[in-house]
Amino acid sequence: MTILKKNLLTFEKLELERLVQDLRMPKFVASQILNWLYQKKVNSFEKMKNISKSNRDILEKQFSILPFKKIEKLESKEKNAIKYNITLSDDQVVECVVLIEKKYTSLCVSSQCGCPVDCKFCVTGAMGFKRNLTMEEIVGQFHFAQSEGYNVTRIVFMGMGEPLLNYSPVKHSFERLTGESFYNLSRRNITISTSGYLAGIKRLIDDKWFVNLAFSVGSTQSLVRQKLMPLEERNPIAKVSVLLQQYQELHNRKLTLEYTLLKGVNDSLQDVAGLIRLAKYLKAKINLINLNPHKCIPFTPLSSIELNKFKEQISESKIPVTIRFRKGQDIAAACGQLGDSQVKK
């Protein structure tokens, strides 16, 4: 994990073949390395048993497998959420979370260290923005979780950061995660969440890059949204909705509206009506997230009765709606809580 070493996750086959040949190894060693990385998901050279010990020693001096300095693991009491606090090469820290569901395991990855969007219901926003992550730092989160034995088959870009503000590395990591000669995950099992960054959605359209998209609504009322999500000023929800509608017309993946509920702020009858209208317009499903409280967030969640009532009102309009189950609150791994280890400092 030394920073000056080249990181293996950055290379494609041809580049790696050239590099191993420069080290006076046969070309096929590159295929062996790629097989250990992407099929067997190892995170040490020692485990690459069909490569000679002398060649493994040379490789270890030249390359790193994960672009990280240190990884701290936290596990929730129910053992269904595992959070990794990952120290990057420049000592910045990002977090990602493995979520164990009944039928599958998913990983919530970070695309930025901190976040410039500053949503007022999110700890990452309170942490501020440090920097964008590279492709290998994004993919490395998945690689590490796999090397720990978690069979992650779904990925959500809902960790730290606004993915569309780090567009190219996020797209590159998407290609790595789904590429046949890399991790070969199903494109349908990857979701990218956005707070509604117009230029990013426009780029998705221009690139014809069709992904499962989740849109974090905050509030359908512009003035309330501005207070909760300052990006509303330059990215008004009315324009975002029109652009999202254009994007949705181009492919057949259903959009998800993520709605973080804040007591007395965005939970009125008017708010339900606005959310239903938006979901109908975008033919979207709704995922309700009751606020996961944190001492640096100035809001409170709904009671379970209020939450269910809000959900029922949506259900009555025949719009698919779910409530996101809270996992990992005890280790600050639940939605909106990432960055806890940094805001404490």
Q: Which is nearer to ligand SF4, 117 or 307 (CB)?
A: 117
Residue with tokens 């990002």: 94
Task: Give Cα 69 distance to the centre of its chain.
Answer: 20
Closest distance of CB 229 from ligand SF4, Å: 7
CA distances from 7 to 43, 61, 273 (A): 12, 11, 50
Q: Which is nearer to ligand SF4, 93 or 115 (CB)?
A: 115
Instruction: Check residue 345 and report its DSSP letter.
Output: -
Positions touching ligand SF4 (CB under 6 A) are: 115, 117-119, 122, 124-125, 160-162, 195, 216
Q: Which is nearer to ligand SF4, 67 or 161 (CB)?
A: 161
With contact defined as beta carbons under 8 Å apart, do 219 and 271 qualify? yes
Measure the CA–CA gap between 74 and 82, rounded to whole angstroms.
6
Closest distance of CB 334 from ligand SF4, Å: 13
Question: What are the start-end ranges of the E strands in 183-302?
Answer: 190-194, 212-216, 256-261, 285-290
Tell me whether residue 108 is one of the annotated catalytic residues: no
Q: Which is nearer to ligand SF4, 8 or 231 (CB)?
A: 231
Residue partners of 250: CB distance under 8 A and separation at least 6 = 205, 208, 210
Closest distance of CB 179 from ligand SF4, Å: 26
Closest distance of CB 248 from ligand SF4, Å: 20
What Rg do the C-alpha atoms of the chain give, in angstroms?
21
Q: Which is nearer to ligand SF4, 66 or 108 (CB)?
A: 108
Closest distance of CB 118 from ligand SF4, Å: 6
Q: Which is nearer to ligand SF4, 85 or 147 (CB)?
A: 85
Closest distance of CB 160 from ligand SF4, Å: 6
Measure the CA–CA gap between 304 and 308, rounded to whole angstroms.
6
Catalytic pick among 17, 95, 162, 258: 95
Residue partners of 153: CB distance under 8 A and separation at least 6 = 104, 105, 106, 185, 186, 189
Measure the CA–CA gap between 72 and 96, rounded to whole angstroms.
11
Catalytic pick among 96, 113, 119, 335: 335
Beta pairing, strands 6-7 & 190-194:
unpaired
Tell me whether residue 15 is one of the annotated catalytic residues: no
The helix (run of H) or strand (run of E) holding residue 129 is strand 129-132
CA distances from 30 to 37, 38, 53, 320 (A): 11, 12, 15, 47
Catalytic residue numbers, as ranges: 95, 335
